[in-house]
Amino acid sequence: MNSLTLTKKYNIYLKYFLIFLFSILAIISELLLQNINFAFPITLSSISLFIIIGLANGKSSFFIILLINIIFFFTNDFNTLSTIEFLQVYFMWFLYQKNKKNILMNALLFILIISLPLMLINLYFTNSSLDINTVFFFLIIFLNKIFNALVADLFLQYISLRKIVPLPTKHEKKLTLSNLLTYTLIASVIIPVIVFVIIAVINTEKEVNLKVTEDLHLASDYVNDKIENWTIEEKSNLKLNNPIHVSKLLDILNVYVSTSDSTISFYLVDFNNKIISNLPNNDYSSLGLNWIKDGSIDEFSPGFYTWWSPIDTSYLIKNYSKDCNYVYVTSIDNSKILISIPSSQYTSTIISGYLESLKILIPLALILFLVISLLKNIILKSISKVIILSSGLPEKLKSKETIVFENSNILEIDSLIYNFQSMVDNLSNMILEAEITNKKLEESRKLLFKQANYDYLTELPNRQYFIEHAQNTINEFSNNNLYNGKNGIAILFLDLDKFKIVNDTLGHSAGDKLLQIIAKKMKEILNPYDSNSACVARLGGDEFVIQLIYNDKYEIEELSTKIIETIKQPINLDSSTITVGVSIGVGLYPEDGNDIESIFIKSDTSMYKAKASGGNEVYI
């Protein structure tokens, strides 16, 4: 056997060893990244798979990457992202067999025609919105794919394998300045972003966990303080899930939910971890749900968990800011209560963590500058000469100075000056697009505030906004100079008389129009009042509520009489003339209570007494 034959066998064995090595690297990298709690899915296994496609022949690489993907399916959740990863590898394999060997361009093509459409389809079928968080999520995924393709492409195209695995001459590719600058530009964008995300996650996780612990402890202490005053018999009945005492506990929780700044939920859980009552009522928290088995939990501190509700996750991995909840389990005399706050409550903290991590990009930019300077000395020396000679070019041309450019033997230099203006235009377009995006974000924020705090039909404040506003007014009444000389705060509970007849005879559309007319009339009645003294809101249905800061009770009676007289006037509605009335119940601060709940109860009771008197009455 001659030396040439031995060399060929050695090269074949060495090539298969490299294929085996990259196969192991693909599996290890996938398993390692699964155990790291990134907020966004990051994978590196496709780097090894792309290299295997380039090293092995068509049939061999097909079956090798198929075997590796089968292993991935047994060790990872089956969802849209894992499906897209599977499709991407075989998309690359197919194009590589068609002699389209630019992996980076193939990756971009896959993102545009397959990955992006599939992810948008997933959003549609999961009823998710394309908000800024989702766009950022998509961006990280796409940058990760481009980065992996970039590394694999650099390895296969430009790292010389002749000393390890001799390749046919057609596999050789000369290094071009255009490709080198392209890869440098892509790397300078992708690497800082990926590092930025990783650092942001690490920095914000501890801060968010501390705030979560504080908020959940506060809610737990509130409930424990309230139940501490219960009798032993009441606590025993609660343990036995007595409906009366469960209802009493839910009333306590409801007060906390209605007055808390946090979007908090409570769940009464039996010792089989099944939810038996919940407040407020959430679709995914139906009775009988086992919060441990049916959901997905991860304990980040003793007694504190991140909990993903049992929704359909077969498309994308769980959304970090929408599906995740922070949970604390507290025991009250052998009864368990689950306290939950959605992670979206802390979105501002997470975003501020991302902004804080921008500080890391400055030293990265300096490092990048040093790298580019090194490349300038090694590869772009001729470009530096062109830059030096072209500095002050207008003045040199005016003085008719002779300019002699040395031959660089690089084709791309001739196009460099032309590209300068294009770069400036692109930067200007990017800044303009950023300003437009920021404007749209601000408009979206205002729209979300209106949707959350105002009634869509009447454009009046809704129940949630009114309760918060009224409670703040009560809290500030004694200390705010605006209220000097005022006697107290009146809550007028209004319920329309004969509204159901309008709905039943003329239809709900007519009822909606009537509510809009009534709302407009009440706003007109309150126009003479200072906005700090009086406001009106719609509670729901045909119920309205007015807050009035009054001097004496005569002022309350005067306003109530004016409302009754205005509303009972005939109203032209489409082709019909209708007559409705209004019953008004009044609760007073501080006479009837020191909090909005107590005053609401008093005004509600008074309203029913007014309605019992025949309607069109006010009862104080």
Measured on CA atoms in the order 568, 572, 577, 578, is the torsion positive or negative?
Answer: negative
* Cis ω for the linkage preceding 461 (within 30 of 0): no
* Residues 164, 195 share a domain: no
Looking at the DSSP assignment, which residues form a beta bridge with residue 330?
A: 337
End-to-end CA distance of the chain: 112
* Burial class of residue 334 (count of CB atoms within 10 Å of its CB; 0-12, 13-18, 19+): exposed
Instruction: Encode pLDDT of 5-30 as tens digits.
Output: 655 666 677 777 888 888 888 888 77
CATH number at residue 32: 1.10.1760.20
Residue pair 368/347 in contact by the 8 Å Cβ criterion: no
Q: Which of 101, 68, 117, 253 is nearest to 172 (CA)?
A: 101
Which structural domain range is residue 66 located in? 1-168
pLDDT bucket at 494, cuts 50 / 70 / 90: very high
pLDDT bucket at 479, cuts 50 / 70 / 90: confident
- CB atoms under 10 Å from CB of 195, counted, come to 14
pLDDT bucket at 182, cuts 50 / 70 / 90: low
Domain count, the chain: 4
Question: What's residue 169's pLDDT?
Answer: 45
* Residues 614, 475 share a domain: yes
The answer to whether position 375 is within a domain reads: yes
* Residues 414, 509 share a domain: no
Which has more confidence, 174 or 57? 57
Question: What's residue 312's pLDDT?
Answer: 42
Q: Does position 453 have pLDDT exceeding 70, yes or no?
A: yes
* Residues 396, 289 share a domain: no
The answer to whether position 458 is within a domain reads: no
For residue 556, what are the contacts with CB-CB under 8 A and spacing of at least 6?
490, 492, 548, 550, 586, 620
* Residues 441, 365 share a domain: no
Looking at the DSSP assignment, which residues form a beta bridge with residue 338?
A: 267, 329
Which has more confidence, 428 or 370? 370
The answer to whether position 453 is within a domain reads: no
Choose one of 387, 412, 435: the last residue of a domain.
387
- CB atoms under 10 Å from CB of 131, counted, come to 14
Instruction: Encode pLDDT of 514-523 as tens digits.
Output: 999 999 999 9
Which has more confidence, 116 or 264? 116
Question: What's residue 508's pLDDT?
Answer: 87
Cα–Cα distances (Å) from 62 to 49, 87, 103, 161, in that order, read 10, 12, 16, 22
* Residues 502, 614 share a domain: yes
Q: Does position 541 have pLDDT exceeding 80, yes or no?
A: yes
The answer to whether position 227 is within a domain reads: yes
Question: What's residue 100's pLDDT?
Answer: 78
Choose one of 168, 196, 222: the last residue of a domain.
168
Which has more confidence, 86 or 521? 521
* Burial class of residue 244 (count of CB atoms within 10 Å of its CB; 0-12, 13-18, 19+): exposed
The two tokens of residue 520 are 């407009």
Q: Which of 257, 237, 261 is nearest to 247 (CA)?
A: 237
Question: What's residue 41's pLDDT?
Answer: 67
Q: Residue 588 and residue 598: Cα distance in Å, rounded?
A: 10
Looking at the DSSP assignment, which residues form a beta bridge with residue 342?
A: 325
3-state secondary structure of 575: coil
Question: What's residue 67's pLDDT?
Answer: 84
When pLDDT is averaged across residues 344-357 and rounded to a whole number, the result is 62
Q: Residue 481 and residue 244: Cα distance in Å, rounded?
A: 44
When pLDDT is averaged across residues 482-487 and rounded to a whole number, the result is 75
Residue type, 502: V
Residue type, 532: N
Average pLDDT, the chain: 75
3 state SS for 375-417: HHHHCCHHHHHHHHHHCCHHHHHHCCCCCCCCCCCCHHHHHHH
Helices (H) and strands (E) in the chain, counts: 20, 13
Question: What's residue 577's pLDDT?
Answer: 87
Instruction: Encode pLDDT of 237-290 as tens digits.
Output: 666 666 776 677 777 777 777 776 667 777 777 777 777 766 665 544 455 567
* Residues 43, 98 share a domain: yes
The answer to whether position 452 is within a domain reads: no
* Residues 159, 25 share a domain: yes
Residue pair 583/611 in contact by the 8 Å Cβ criterion: yes
* Residues 73, 25 share a domain: yes
Q: Listing from the earlier edge strand, what are the strands of the sheet with 296-301?
A: 275-279, 265-269, 335-342, 324-332, 304-308, 296-301
* Residues 181, 128 share a domain: no
pLDDT above 90: percentage of residues in the chain: 14
Question: What's residue 9's pLDDT?
Answer: 66
* Residues 429, 382 share a domain: no
pLDDT above 70: percentage of residues in the chain: 64
The answer to whether position 485 is within a domain reads: yes
pLDDT bucket at 73, cuts 50 / 70 / 90: confident
Q: Listing from the earlier edge strand, what are the strands of the sheet with 543-550?
A: 534-540, 543-550, 488-497, 581-589, 618-619
pLDDT bucket at 413, cuts 50 / 70 / 90: low
The answer to whether position 451 is within a domain reads: no
pLDDT bucket at 420, cuts 50 / 70 / 90: very low
* Residues 434, 358 share a domain: no
Residue pair 47/151 in contact by the 8 Å Cβ criterion: yes
Whole-model pTM: value is 0.44
- Give, as one character, the DSSP assignment of residue 112: I
Residue pair 223/387 in contact by the 8 Å Cβ criterion: no
Choose one of 168, 189, 222: the last residue of a domain.
168
pLDDT bucket at 544, cuts 50 / 70 / 90: very high
The two tokens of residue 274 are 């099944």
Residue pair 326/340 in contact by the 8 Å Cβ criterion: yes
Residue pair 474/491 in contact by the 8 Å Cβ criterion: no
The answer to whether position 533 is within a domain reads: yes
Instruction: Give the phi and the psi of residue 287 in degrees, each rounded to 5.
Output: -60, 145
Task: Decide the pairing of beta strands 304-308 and 618-619.
Answer: unpaired
Residue type, 282: N
Instruction: Encode pLDDT of 311-336 as tens digits.
Output: 444 333 344 334 577 888 877 656 67
Q: Does position 69 have pLDDT exceeding 90, yes or no?
A: no
